[in-house]
């Protein structure tokens, strides 16, 4: 049986419609009258009684604040992935990289060109393989007397802070196991000025997925912002956030140094 709508219903609909979308109007209407009408019913009533909302057909997907933030991040020269991460962190959303890319293209929020290696560039570690110290193989099985404290290459020991060390060469050359595991897994040396974190905080978990390479600057920022967690995935996200924050700070310092102009 079709519902009958009174003058009070229509007058209220006419009052609340301007500037609102149908879902908002429907919610307010049902709350006011304790009813459960659908959005299509509200639209039919509006059409029948000549009531208009005066808004665009589609709801704006991004607020002006969000668009302004997208523009700001784009000017910082960040990658689309970095922009997406910071955007979702700030607004508590779960936008995809594709969605963010589409919005940036739609509004012309381009990213300044970033440095890249020229064609034919060879990494510094081309031809290197493994993580054993240079020359260590010559001493592994050297004959002769051994001191009382001697242990074979490959032996492990724990330092006072709970980090595991591995003997990698005679007579007494040691390296931290988590750094060795990371280098062996990635087949390259840890760059100068970098550290390897245990993602979940467990110094005995040497799973390569738990070992996260960060710069000293990243590490300082992560400690400052409390971004080192007990979950490797969260710590990995924290490392990305710290890196982005550092890049933004560095770019802003350059702006001030250039009198506000960015080349």
Residue 20 burial by Cβ neighbours in a 10 Å radius (0-12, 13-18, 19+): middle
Lowest mean pLDDT among 37-46, 100-109, 253-262: 253-262
Say whether pLDDT at 14 is over 90.
yes
Say whether pLDDT at 192 is over 50.
yes
* Residue 120: per-residue pLDDT: 55
* Domain positions in the chain: 7-48, 64-107, 156-257
Cβ atoms of 215 and 193 within 8 Å: the answer is: yes
Say whether pLDDT at 138 is over 60.
no
Cβ atoms of 181 and 206 within 8 Å: the answer is: yes
* Residue 263: per-residue pLDDT: 39
Q: What is the DSSP string of 127-145?
A: T--SSPPTTGGGGTT--S-
* Residue 117: per-residue pLDDT: 46
Say whether pLDDT at 9 is over 70.
yes
* Residue 53: per-residue pLDDT: 84
In the 8-state DSSP scheme, what is residue 29? H
In CATH terms, 156-257 corresponds, of 3.40.50, 3.40.1800, 3.90.75, 1.10.10, to 3.90.75
Q: How confident is the model at residue 151 (pLDDT cuts 50, 70, 90)?
A: confident
Say whether pLDDT at 100 is over 60.
yes
Q: What is the pLDDT of residues 36-78, one digit of tens each?
A: 999 889 999 999 999 988 876 655 678 888 888 888 888 877 7
* Count of helices and strands (H, E) across the chain: 9, 5
């Amino acid at each position: 049986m079709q519902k009958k709508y009174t003058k009070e219903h229509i007058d209220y609909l006419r009052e609340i419609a301007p500037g609102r979308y149908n879902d908002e109007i429907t919610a307010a209407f049902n709350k006011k009258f304790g009813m459960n009408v659908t959005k299509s019913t509200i639209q039919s009533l509006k059409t029948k009684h000549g009531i208009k909302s005066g808004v665009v057909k589609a709801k704006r997907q991004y607020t002006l604040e969000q668009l302004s933030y997208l523009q700001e991040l784009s000017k910082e020269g960040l990658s689309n992935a970095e922009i997406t991460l910071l955007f979702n962190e700030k607004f508590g959303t779960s936008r995809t990289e594709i969605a963010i890319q589409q919005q940036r293209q739609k509004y012309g929020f381009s990213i300044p060109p970033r440095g890249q290696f020229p064609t034919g560039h060879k990494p510094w570690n081309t031809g290197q393989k493994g993580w054993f110290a240079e020359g260590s193989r010559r001493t592994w099985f050297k004959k002769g007397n051994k001191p009382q404290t001697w242990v074979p290459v490959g032996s492990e020991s724990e330092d006072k802070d709970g980090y595991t060390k591995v003997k990698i060469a005679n007579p007494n050359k040691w390296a931290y196991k988590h750094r060795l595991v990371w280098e062996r897994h990635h087949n390259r040396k840890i760059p100068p000025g970098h550290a390897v974190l245990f993602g979940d905080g467990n110094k005995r978990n040497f799973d390569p997925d738990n070992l996260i390479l960060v710069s000293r600057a990243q590490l300082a920022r992560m400690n400052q912002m409390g971004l080192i967690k007990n979950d490797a995935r969260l710590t990995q996200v924290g490392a990305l956030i710290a890196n982005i924050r550092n890049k933004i700070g560095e770019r802003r310092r350059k702006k001030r140094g250039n009198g506000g102009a960015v080349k």
